[in-house]
Amino acid sequence: MTTILVLCTGNSTRSQMAHGYLQHFAGERARVLSAGVETHGLNPKAVQVMAEDGIGIGHHTSNHVDDYAHLPIDFVITVCDSAAERCPVWIGRTKRTHYNFTDPSKATGTLDEVMAIYRHVRDEIKTFSEAFVAEHVIE
């Protein structure tokens, strides 16, 4: 089984959304984990926009990358530049992939404008996750 770790700064929003979609698309073919180089708690707006697309992440927890340092990881996906710069090194077969998604938690404006940004980033992460699983997660 393929093990994927999604890494972000705070394991609050982007990594949590990617975790949800990667697990959705991979199903039983992969074990997906997410963590941060810091922990900021699960972002309720991320939970909301994922639920709108039928993906429940409300049970996720905000974890620190050190929690998974002992595990054999096949892929580490960093979803922000900060995490890519601070990502620890896994010795062995671990492959790293990086995509810098916009941080929706930094969005400003009315609630509708902020939520539109969350949905846009969610949709980008969904597209990325589906393509990643199709390319890298083998039956």
- pLDDT grade for 88, boundaries at 50, 70 and 90: low
116 vs 139, residue with greater confidence: 116
Band the pLDDT of 119: cuts 50, 70, 90: very high
The CATH code that applies to domain 2-136 is 3.40.50.2300
Examine the residue annotation and report whether 88 is marked as an active-site residue of this protein.
Answer: no
Per-residue pLDDT reduced to its tens digit, 43-80: 999 999 999 999 999 999 999 998 998 889 999 999 98
8 is known as an active-site residue: yes
Structure-token pair, residue 23:
């697990």
Arithmetic mean of pLDDT over the chain: 92
- The catalytic position among 4, 6, 7, 8 is 8
Residue 82: band (very low, low, confident or very high) from pLDDT cuts 50, 70, 90:
confident
For residue 112, count CB atoms less than 10 angstroms from its CB and return exposed for 0-12, middle for 13-18, buried for 19 or more: exposed
Q: What integer pLDDT is reported at residue 34 of this predicted model?
A: 96
31 DSSP β-pair partners:
3
**Active site (annotated) includes residue 100:** no
The model's pLDDT over 8-26, given as tens digits with 9 standing for 90+, comes to 988 999 999 999 999 999 9
In this prediction the pTM is 0.93
Rounded mean pLDDT of 95-114?
A: 94
Angle at 36 between CA 31 and CA 39, to 5 degrees: 120
Neighbours of 33 (CB within 10 A): 22
Q: Given 64, 86, 87, 115, which residue is catalytic?
A: 87
Which one of 80, 84, 117, 133 is the catalytic residue? 80
Domain boundaries, the chain: 2-136
